[in-house]
Structure 1
Amino acid sequence: FLIVSLQYYTSPVSDYTFSTEMEALDYLFSEMDERILESEACAEDNELHKMHSWLPDGWVVEVRAGTMRDKMYKFYVHLPTGMRFFSKEDVLRYVNEGKISEWDVKGLCDTISEDNILAQVEFNPDGLPKGWVKELVFRKCNDGIRKDP
């Protein structure tokens, strides 16, 4: 039998693993862990994130212009199903009980097309550190609608 002992270096903050001491030292001197800790501290103080910490994974906040373009409407949207709700209570009722409220937006705001979406905000998106927010801004251009993150 050949027994091979592998040694790894792991950052307790980021969980990044390195196979050589030199890689670990380079990472350590890059001060990446300090930036991660600062970022997490800022996220904890973020009021926008605190206000939406109840929002389940897979849901985004969507802002749309009204039919007369004089008002904006905020919706909570479950992207996988396209279900759209006006309030936290409606979202939680749907998630916990499967019930849908009777609120109707017909005439106030078009919710079928993407033409009047102004932005979508996702809290705790995949691939970003805890507390980060991803916003997509929708812009009309000559060849359709552009979604800028």
Structure 2
Amino acid sequence: MPLLLRFLDKAELLAASHLCLRSKAYWGYDEAFMASCREELTLTESDLINDNIVAAEDQSGLAGIAQVSKDQSGCFLEKLFVDTDRIGQGVGKQLYNWSLATARELGATELIVEADPDAAPFYERMGCERNGQAQSGSVQGRFLPRYVHKL
């Protein structure tokens, strides 16, 4: 199915947030872990104002989302989530390529990704290089692999 990328609309924040949670839960996390991630995975109106957020959709509806932010410390892939029934169909790759192009348009020389450990192989296939680790924004004492993609 052809995939359309378009900027996320304010009315879609709740549906997109639910997609993020479903996609994260795909990796087998329990309810307590998912509850601790809820706030970090919820998209807000502030995100729409401050960041670039794109929705991928096809005939069946919302297939995935990606969020890129940039500040004085760098350009970050904040979120890249694919709906569970679309995993392995190229949605993530298309969203990641959009993220790279967006980072370039923002004048960045690299895109920083703090990845879920289960998603690490995907980012490595996309050309990211491991660059240490980062503290999870949701779970105290949990560290995530940190990647950098030179632009």
The TM-score with structure 1 as length reference comes to 0.23
The TM-score with structure 2 as length reference comes to 0.23
- Larger helix fraction of residues: 2
Between Structure 1 and Structure 2, whose CA radius of gyration is higher?
1
Relative contact order (C-alpha < 8 Å, sep 6+): which is higher?
2
